[in-house]
């Protein structure tokens, strides 16, 4: 028998929370960083390799999967968990952001969005009801409401119109969502960087009594200071007993700051995308493995990291792979980056449990500031 969807908080440190989410396909610990499997795959990694990093939660994308291979085909093949060999919890983004950023000749109105595919130019329509249907066919544990990702920068008037339409869409999503034990629908808070609009959006979502909250429309160019100010404004207005998911974030220092403000869930393409282009995330900041200074360096990328790239290979070897355009380079560096992000989340969870989050953050920022020029001690 499937357990109901639930979020339990086991520890707090000021407003930061340490918790566990229970879904139809198992549990995941929070704060959590999702494995980004946009098109039902974490690029350059086998599912078992992703799991060994400690990742418990994957995120896939409605827009990409509705176009290829189609949600109906995934459903006929047993659902997304079986299709991609991921038995654990899965979140699906609603497709709203990708419709705005990738599609061609889109037309937006109250009903939804009509657009042409970036793949082949074919015509499609995505509405709140169709987004719910697609995510149901995919069998995702956490369904995200269909929204318009407000462009940045946006005037207050544009941001207000966009947010209010997204809130009307959220109401339609709730009506179309098929309630089942272990499955959840999250609304998405919008309002750009305007605190009063964010609070209006929060009030609309809390009145719908959804299962959790996405916080969207951030990390789109507004800068970290404004992003944190927005979180400071809106998080107190969201029900404390429900999980909060900061969408599309992001850089390690963004994550640490957001956890300290009470965020529970994160996703971003950055670890995998950077891994494919030669950028590694380490406790000393980012490292470009194409840089010639690694040519003769026998050290591991980070001697405190337990990933396969760090325990079995040198910087010189990683540099060689990228300079030679060998496929193994992106594979190893992606595995390292995903492992680094999961290590960061483990550290944050442990710090909240022990009430030492301020100290953890101070050490984190100090090490990041030192950079990688010095030898890793």
Which residues are part of the catalytic machinery? Answer: 93, 267
- Distance (Å, whole) CA 148 – CA 169: 9
- Distance (Å, whole) CA 108 – CA 211: 27
Q: Nearest-CA neighbor of 311 among 296, 301, 319? A: 301
- DSSP states of 301-322 as a string? S-TT--SHHHHH--HHHHHHHH
- Distance (Å, whole) CA 165 – CA 149: 11
Cis peptide before 158 (omega within 30 of 0): no
Q: What does DSSP assign to residue 69?
A: T
- DSSP states of 172-212 as a string? HHHHHS---TT-EEEEEE--TT-HHHHHHHHHHHHHHT-SE
Q: Do the bridges between strand 142-144 and strand 90-93 make them parallel or antiparallel, or are there none, so unpaired?
A: parallel
Q: Nearest-CA neighbor of 247 among 232, 227, 233, 229? A: 227
Q: Is residue 134 a contact partner of residue 71, using CB atoms and an 8 Å limit?
A: yes
Q: Buried (b) or exposed (e) across 23-35, using 16+ Cβ within 10 A?
A: bbbbbbbbbbbbb
**Helices 224-234 and 252-259: angle between axes, nearest 10 degrees:** 20
Q: Do the bridges between strand 212-215 and strand 244-246 make them parallel or antiparallel, or are there none, so unpaired?
A: parallel
- Distance (Å, whole) CA 318 – CA 301: 9
Alpha-carbon torsion (255, 209, 175, 191), positive or negative = negative
Q: Is residue 138 a contact partner of residue 71, using CB atoms and an 8 Å limit?
A: yes
The strand pairing partners of 18, in sequence order, are: 11
DSSP 3-state of 364: helix
């Amino acid at each position: 028998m499937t357990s109901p969807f639930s979020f339990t908080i086991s520890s707090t440190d000021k407003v930061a929370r340490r918790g566990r989410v229970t879904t139809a396909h198992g549990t995941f610990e929070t704060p959590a960083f999702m494995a980004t499997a946009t098109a039902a795959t974490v690029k350059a990694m086998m599912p078992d390799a992703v799991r060994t990093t400690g990742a418990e939660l994957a995120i896939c994308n409605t827009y990409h999967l509705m176009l290829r291979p189609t949600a109906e085909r995934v459903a006929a093949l047993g659902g997304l968990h079986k299709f991609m060999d991921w038995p654990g919890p899965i979140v699906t983004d609603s497709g709203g952001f990708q419709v705005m950023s990738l599609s061609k000749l889109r037309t937006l109105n109250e009903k939804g969005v009509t657009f042409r595919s970036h793949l082949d130019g074919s015509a499609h329509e995505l509405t709140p009801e169709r987004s719910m249907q697609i995510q149901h066919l995919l069998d995702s544990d956490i369904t995200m409401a269909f929204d318009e990702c407000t462009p940045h920068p946006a005037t207050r008037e544009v941001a207000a119109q966009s947010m209010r339409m997204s809130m009307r869409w959220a109401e339609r999503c709730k009506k179309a969502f098929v309630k089942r034990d272990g499955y959840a629908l999250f609304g998405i808070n919008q309002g750009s960087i305007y605190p009063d609009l964010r609070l209006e959006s929060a009030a609309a979502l809390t009145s719908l009594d959804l299962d959790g909250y996405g916080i969207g429309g951030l990390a789109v160019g507004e800068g970290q200071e404004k992003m944190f100010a927005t979180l400071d404004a809106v998080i107190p207005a969201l029900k404390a007993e429900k999980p909060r998911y900061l969408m599309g974030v992001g850089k390690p220092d963004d994550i640490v700051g957001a956890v300290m403000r009470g965020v529970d869930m994160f996703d971003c393409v950055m670890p995998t995308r950077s891994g494919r282009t030669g950028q590694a995330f380490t406790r000393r900041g980012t490292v470009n493995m194409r840089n010639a200074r690694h040519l003769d360096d026998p050290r591991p990328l980070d001697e405190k990291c337990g990933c396969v790239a760090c325990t079995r290979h040198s910087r010189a070897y990683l540099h060689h792979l990228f300079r030679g355009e060998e496929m193994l380079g992106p594979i190893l560096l992606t595995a390292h980056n995903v492992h680094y992000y999961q290590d960061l989340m483990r550290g944050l969870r442990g710090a909240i449990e022990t009430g030492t989050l301020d100290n953890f953050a101070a050490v984190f920022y100090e090490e990041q500031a030192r950079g990688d020029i010095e030898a890793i001690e």
